[in-house]
Structure 1
């Protein structure tokens, strides 16, 4: 079918673009390359069923591209994805994540798109979790503690209402912390990529706070699988996680083991504002709605990432 992917040149989006093409779909990508790269799409350049438009999702141009493509399904991944940037510039965060999402939704509704699948954030929309609530289920209240989490929650709610008022099918995939090849080693939300890059270069890793902050880490191929399944099934908010907590300290130890560095150099900085303390996401609804389960254990995913990075030049810095 005809699939349009916003943010299709980014870390997750480029993997999804490749997988959608491999599944036989006609794929059009919208990306402004603010974080995505041409290199991420190098392997599919010239593909007969692939098209790329370089534009910002907040602009009329993006709406025109979507209208011309008339996709049956939109996979909406383009976003401002930094918690700390959202705290420093909530207007920029809202412009991209709220107004940009509205621009895409409105264009999709006008051209008769059947379904929109939205990349939400399981790590931020719930806010601070009580230990007794872990792993978190979709029924729990949403209380974001950052503007990024708030904008993602707003995106979910706009999508829900568009579905009810405009008849568009929808799924909001609340992603855990995604990691894997192509993750930006300088990125705000990519502690696995940052640590792996620095350990392989023999550099010191920075841990914010005591290192016992936890996240639910899910490998990028598992996330891509969830998006592809959501094209034809699933409705509403669906967690995409493993149900397991992994601390920042555990991440560093796992990277060290995979890289054969028993005690990676590290230092502690103050904890960052707006960061939730503990997160894990129940995958039960994903199993029921998407017939999806995570396949890649954390240690296996880290080993794969280390092996991948060792086969290519590491970025400077």
Structure 2
């Protein structure tokens, strides 16, 4: 990425004020690193330093030109098991959007949404941004409700939505429900068998966290175009190709250099069969494409887990 994201003839313009809500999370930490590496200063908001106090916006957000909203406390399993938490996720986002009325700059607000759960499973993938929507679980419904809330706030902000596929990489939670790659690597280090849900033929679109962070970074350089758009900008962000669970297992065996035993269990009723995304529009609008292939990304993630395991105090 370039040291600055301003075009050559715009270098006299002041740098945008960027805020990251959810800066302490898996993706948020990588976004903060990407912004810093590009010379973009960003305000970090976390659960310990929230963006909204009650219903009042943190004063620093009054002056932001761009906001990345990455905060989330649910997974598909959590949303299905505790639907009230999915409702709270949407309510918290609406409270945040209402508080942003205090910002007079009409900031570009980018929501990270779900490319894996908002599209109608009755349609064949790959899904592009015009594919029919039809969430089949509580998680997808909550994410689509957030998108609709963002679009409804267009009078006082410029909405952008990045529908992420299955993001993985160093720093991801390794407990069940937060992504199969991190969960499998934790199981490997613990000497456990890997669990494959269903017949192993179901496919997902795995995108490395650094590629996802660079997609958000690319938004900074397109802020003027996004603000001028006459409708919310919605973009798919993924690898753009499917990988079945059985193929992922083979990739992981190649990564660790040995056979890895598995045990098979029935698929969960709320899981989708096949999901992958058409990412062509992100290339057109943001000039972004993923750069980290699955083999490279798995090796990077495995090195991270090994380094964590070797630390004197463990994790």
Range into which the TM-score falls when normalised by the shorter chain: 0.7 to 0.9
Assess, with a 3 A threshold, how the Cα gap between structure 1 residues 129 and 288 changes in structure 2: closer, same or farther: farther
Counterpart CA distance in 2 for 1:66 and 1:313 is: 41
Match of 1:47 in 2: none
8 Å contact kept, 1:115–1:231: no
Alignment equivalent of 1:285, drawn from 281, 285, 293: 281
User: 1:227-238 residue pairs with structure 2 within 5 A?
Assistant: 227-233=216-222, 234=226, 236-238=233-235
Residue 187 (structure 1) shift: 4.5
Residue 308 (structure 1) shift: 2.2
User: 1:292-303 residue pairs with structure 2 within 5 A?
Assistant: 292-303=288-299
Match of 1:119 in 2: 112
Counterpart CA distance in 2 for 1:68 and 1:296 is: 33
Residue 129 (structure 1) shift: 4.6
The answer to whether residue 247 in structure 2 is matched with residue 250 in structure 1 is yes
8 Å contact kept, 1:66–1:108: no
TM-score by length of 2: 0.85
Residue 67 (structure 1) shift: 5.5
Moved more, 209-218 or 226-235: 226-235
- In structure 1, stretches of 5+ residues that fail to align are 33-52
Q: CA offsets, 1:55-101, max 9 Å, x none?
A: 4x6x63474326655321110010133111111211111112x1111
Alignment equivalent of 1:274, drawn from 238, 250, 270: 270
TM-score by length of 1: 0.85
Alignment equivalent of 1:70, drawn from 63, 80, 87: 63
Counterpart CA distance in 1 for 2:170 and 2:59 is: 29
Match of 2:126 in 1: 135
Give the SS at the match of 1:288.
Answer: helix
User: 1:90-239 residue pairs with structure 2 within 5 A?
Assistant: 90-96=83-89, 98-112=90-104, 113-131=106-124, 134-163=125-154, 165-166=155-156, 168-233=157-222, 234=226, 236-239=233-236
Residue 260 (structure 1) shift: 0.9
Runs of at least 4 residues off by over 6 Å: 314-317
Which structure has the larger Rg over C-alpha atoms?
Answer: 2
User: 1:28-107 residue pairs with structure 2 within 5 A?
Assistant: 28-32=43-47, 53-55=48-50, 60-61=53-54, 63-65=56-58, 70-96=63-89, 98-107=90-99
Assess, with a 3 A threshold, how the Cα gap between structure 1 residues 149 and 72 changes in structure 2: closer, same or farther: same
8 Å contact kept, 2:62–2:100: no
Give the SS at the match of 1:237.
Answer: strand
- In structure 2, stretches of 5+ residues that fail to align are 1-15, 227-231
Residue 257 (structure 1) shift: 1.0
8 Å contact kept, 2:129–2:236: yes
8 Å contact kept, 2:74–2:85: no
